[in-house]
Structure 1
Amino acid sequence: MSSLFPTYKRKQIQLQKGSGVYVYDQNNNRYLDFTSGIAATSVGHCHPEVIAALKKQSEKIWHTSNLFQIELQETLAENLVKPTNLDHAFFCNSGAEANEAAIKLAKKFTGKNKIITFNDSFHGRTFGSMSATGQQKIKAGYGPLVSEFVHLPWNDSEQLKNTADFETAAIMMEVIQGEGGIRIADVLFYEEVQRICKEYDILLIIDEVQTGIGRTGRRYAYEHFGLDPDIVTLAKGLGNGYPIGAMLGKSKLAEAFGPGSHGTTFGGNPLACAVSQTVLDIVFNDSFLSDVEAKGKWLKEKLIEALNKHSLVKDIRGEGLLIGIECENAARLIQDLEDNGLLTVPAGESVIRLLPPLTVTDQELEKALEIVIHTFKNIYEFNIKDE
């Protein structure tokens, strides 16, 4: 019997090593990794520049605590906020922690408690972030949660207009729902969210834990929709698999987060910051981001061309290298894709999520596409849409 709590439904394979987009299991079987540690290894496994940065910093100092000045934090914060209307950063260890910080900051700054979030959202598994999450299965069995979170239907402007008021502290959302099924709202919905925030002096919190740091072909996914958030949360791709999270916020919020208001022992330690700065050096480059956007567009178009003829494929959607295939038999297909050498991850019950490293090559995308087409053909061969 394992000494671990059974909190995960684990696959039988053990990934022992990786390089770029490829990983190898305990039997030396090779897979194309289109999970990226659930959008974390954004520049691929064992990227030489990331390894060099981690090694160099590890030979200086690992940890000091936030009782001391950490120059690496200052540099990283500046590089995260300078392409935005945001001004300050708080570093932590994960996306859930970043969202906890955002919830605390919004309540403390506004003096209000009501926060609007959306059905099918996912913001984490701590009590605050779980309370914000719009999925009942995440909350089952835990008793009373943090009060005054209101969950509304995603992409429903009317419900939002009828619910938001001057007692609302914040609207919190993913601009592309990740765990909820790679769901993008209408442009008019995003415009309405922004308008309502201005009308009622509501803070806009955007959870970019999965979509941020280049995943969609922009530095942050909210840039696609012309939004102006007050708070942005980050993690996953920020550290290429090294644990780090961040909350970014506008200057007006700083007064509410003075000494003693929030904290973390390990957040933003020198090792994490050295790794993250190296990731930004690679990703926050206009030509790199344009390449991600172009690769994602090519892959989505090819998937639509190849799979739309299957009657059991409902939709193919996403932005950049965050793509979802909504279909029947998703769980079986994910296993069959694995058997054929391609690792993917579900998003909800019926969506296959493709999350390759942002450094994936055209040849590797073509290989993955071949595996997807072959795997779908085996299951869906006799389910062709009527012309």
Structure 2
Amino acid sequence: MSNQSNGVSEAAQNLSQTTGNLANEASSWISNNAVDILIAGTVGLLIALALFGVRALGARLVRRMTTREGEAHWPVIFARVVVQTKGYFIVLSAFELVAEHAETPPAILGAIHFLFVIAAAIQAAIWGRELILGYVQHRAGVDDEHSTLSSAMGIVRLLVTVALFAIAIIVILDNLGVNVTGLVAGLGIGGIAIGLAAQGIFSDLFAALSIIFDRPFRRGDTITFATFTGTVEKIGLKSTRIRALNGEQIVVSNTELLKTQLQNWAKLERRRAVMVFGITYQTPPDTIAQIGSELKAIVERQPLAAFDRAHAFQFGASSIDFEFIFHVDAADMAVFMAVREAIMIAMMRRFAEMGVEFAYPTQVTFTAAPDGKLVMPYPHVKVLAEGDCAAEPAAGA
């Protein structure tokens, strides 16, 4: 018991002696370098005020540009990074910049440098986190369409925060003289183990992040994947819910969804119509040559339609076949079908005026005599006038 008391007493005496030496050294330094300290203090104060002014300017820029545009663009992102500058970092930066110019004692200079390294590491982690999260929000958008990805954004925030502050702690320990090689190796092995254990979860998470960055579709878009077509209702952390055309809800994991080829019909700005039709072989060649220009005139009378081409392209079994292509500047299927129907009706009317008949599958049978000559498939009959038809039975009677 007496040994412990003696040890505590000795440590207290050493601490008291060290504190006293520092106090004497500081007092001697202040009395001998009062002018240099005053100049350095003034310069440091100006530096701190300038940094605080930059931070205030960043806050004003964030308020102004967010109000105007309503979303995070790069100037706003950098302004938000500046706003996250902490007061203790500004003060310690000012001390670090002017300390050597005031003949500061090595002990005090070392303490200032040590505190500045800690503040700089933490501040760099805060800046990095704000920059990364701002970039993610910039790519994803801040509107309601991506509100369903808030859980994914929360995990991203957590992962980024843990990773950056872990690096900051390692940097601080390294500056303190601690051997961090084993710590870095342990963190690496632990990260690999966690990644293997949660491989499925991280796969779907990164698939959700891929949807954020690449934007193959959004909530409300109509997409086709595999053999399904439907409207995206919800994009979650693990899966996406799609309302099929028949009314049922399809739930598919984000990983599997991005592995398949997708067609996003919401990105459609114009629709292409291809019509293949046939006309009878009895149509005169001059009339056939006129059909293309007639179809072009029909299309040009429709406000949303644009003519592409129309040509006779083959001799079919029962018809001369045409390929007729035009575009409709509308994404809505109902509008597209209405324009297509109007063009078809106009074609039928114009062809009737021109005497052009649409062909349909027909087959003619010819009969041959024993000598190989073609004969009619029915016997010859005598065509009688109406008066003869009425009088013939009476004569026979």
Which has the larger Rg? 2
Question: Structure 2 length as normaliser, TM-score?
Answer: 0.21
Query: Which structure exhibits the higher relative contact order, with contacts defined as CA atoms closer than 8 Å and separated by 6 or more residues?
Result: 1
Question: Structure 1 length as normaliser, TM-score?
Answer: 0.21
Greater helix percent: which structure?
2
